[in-house]
Structure 1
Amino acid sequence: MSLGKRLGAEFFGTFWLVFGGCGSAVLAAAFPQLGIGFAGVALAFGLTVLTMAFAVGHISGGHFNPAVSVGLVAGGRFPAKDLVPYIVAQVVGALAAGAVLYLIASGKPDFSAGGFASNGFGDLSPGGYSLHAALVCEIVMTFFFVFIIMGATDGRAPAGFAPIAIGLALTLIHLVSIPVTNTSVNPARSTGVAFFASTAAVSQLWLFWVAPIVGGGLGGFVYRTLFEPARR
């Protein structure tokens, strides 16, 4: 498959992740009578990855996340020469989704952007968690996300079930970490909405690039080191 087609798949996959996941928070969870709550938001993020992994995973590998791309490079599953183009496509897709979501949300008469499903620590953390708590949480959660991706897509794993495992993993990650950082584990997802928030989300964006990339890189490296068959 050509690089252009793979980048297109990453664009649309990341767009859907941000639009579906963050959209569930901005448009649906804001209305208690709809009853989705934060558990519904967690499920929405998992469903975005599951559906797009089935739809375009066979085209691009279904990363939709710079931290996953970095982790797969560290795990020996993805060529480093394609890393930057993939990250650019993912970030552009996320920003496009944030813009469309903002356009829809601002159509409500009493609209206020507020946090706009952005990530944060301290005053911007849903539970008021500190910088160091957010840093550790994002590193650990992204580590296990990439570790699970590596295992689920291993040639020795049951064929055809990887998108389900990966989608459920992302749901579980959100159920645990929404109170801490509003859950990133994805620098593109964080970037896609931060610029539309009326808070100081952009000033904290650095953490949601550094921590997921560190965690993702470690996840890929550890799985490759411990569990990949020895390369001759």
Structure 2
Amino acid sequence: MTELINGNHAVALDVRDGDATDNPPPEVTRKDSDLSFSVPLFQKLMAEAVGTYFLIFAGCGSVVVNFDNNKVVTQPGISIVWGLAVMVLVYSVGHISGAHFNPAVTIAFASCKRFPLKQVPVYIAAQVLGSTLAAGTLRLLFNGKHDVFSGTSPQGSYMQAFVIEFIITFYLMFIISGVATDNRAIGELAGLAVGATVLLNVMFAGPITGASMNPARSLGPAIASNHWEGIWIYLIAPTLGAVSGAWVYNIVRYTNKPLREITKSSSFLKSATRV
């Protein structure tokens, strides 16, 4: 007799005749993604809501503080706050919920079948809730003579804002797909890579569009302040950009082989070994 491992079940086989014994495999438990509601799903939604809250509170808070205090934070400072907030939140709850904090990212993952489609609505609801609560908190804390809108609005034409939001979200999702879904990437650096991408995008696109890249980031402050100028741009452009970025990365992802096997067969390495 010998024992073979088949998935999660140990199956005893008779080597002489190749027939399985009468020992039944243990009962298979359903995955979290197969359940309509479960404790693990609730934990994920809590992580998304709390994570989005702190992301918006820190990022939009830097905008409000900068305006109320003679621009002491500065545009580079605001960019750094957004980037650092994303980085630390990815490392803190990424292992729980995936650290989306962004409906566009959730939809993009679902479109590539890397996220359960039926969990998309509740994920988006948790993200928008967290964003709205954070924007509401800032509005209560900073409601003096300078009533600052911490959301996003186009500073140029709507077409310009739409194209910029599409491109920077495409870039962000392309990076996320590379570091978070490809097992050849260095997963430990995912938070740093994604945070740095957000920092770069906010640095140059912030003065033009607010560098949303995130429908929840724009929708929460819009709800809290009842300010809806150009909101459709920040709902549609990031979503299209994220889906496009995820699919383009899937096209350039040419193999699922480990990095070790790829480097051994690469033409660059072969030519280097001949020198």
Regarding TM over 0.5, the answer is yes
CA distance in 1, matches of 2:94, 2:256: 26
Q: Which residue of 2 aligns with 1:215?
A: 241
Paired amino acid for 1:146? M
Question: Residue 120 in 1 paired to residue 153 in 2?
Answer: yes
Q: Which residue of 2 aligns with 1:145?
A: 172
Q: 2:84 aligns with which of 47, 50, 53?
A: 47
Q: Is the 8 A contact 2:56 2:217 kept in 1?
A: yes
CA distance in 1, matches of 2:129, 2:116: 21
Paired amino acid for 1:216? A
Q: Matches of residues 70-89 of structure 1 in structure 2 within 5 Å? A: 70-89=107-126
CA distance in 2, matches of 1:92, 1:146: 22
Q: Is the 8 A contact 1:15 1:96 kept in 2?
A: yes
Question: Residue 4 in 1 paired to residue 30 in 2?
Answer: no
| C-alpha deviation, 1:206, in angstroms | 1.3
Q: Structure 1 pair 74/228, CA: closer, same or farther in 2 (3 Å)?
A: farther
Q: 2:73 aligns with which of 14, 36, 40?
A: 36
Paired amino acid for 2:165? E
Paired amino acid for 1:139? F
Question: Residue 202 in 1 paired to residue 236 in 2?
Answer: no
Q: 2:63 aligns with which of 25, 35, 48?
A: 25
Question: Residue 92 in 1 paired to residue 129 in 2?
Answer: yes
CA distance in 2, matches of 1:155, 1:75: 16
| C-alpha deviation, 1:31, in angstroms | 1.6
Q: Structure 1 pair 43/50, CA: closer, same or farther in 2 (3 Å)?
A: same
Q: Which residue of 1 aligns with 2:140?
A: 103
| C-alpha deviation, 1:91, in angstroms | 0.1
Q: Is the 8 A contact 2:132 2:224 kept in 1?
A: no
Question: Residue 225 in 1 paired to residue 247 in 2?
Answer: no
Question: Residue 184 in 1 paired to residue 199 in 2?
Answer: no
Cα RMSD for the two superposed structures:
1.8
Q: Which residue of 2 aligns with 1:133?
A: 160
Higher relative contact order (CA closer than 8 Å, sequence separation 6+): 1
CA distance in 1, matches of 2:58, 2:176: 21
| C-alpha deviation, 1:112, in angstroms | 2.8
5+ long unaligned stretches in structure 2? 1-31, 33-39, 258-275
Question: Residue 158 in 1 paired to residue 196 in 2?
Answer: no
Q: Which residue of 2 aligns with 1:60?
A: 97
TM-score with structure 1 length normalisation?
0.88
Cα shift readout 1:66-96 (whole Å, capped 9, x = no counterpart):
0111121233321212111100000000000
Q: Structure 1 pair 50/228, CA: closer, same or farther in 2 (3 Å)?
A: farther
TM-score with structure 2 length normalisation?
0.75
Question: Residue 14 in 1 paired to residue 55 in 2?
Answer: no
Q: Is the 8 A contact 1:29 1:37 kept in 2?
A: no
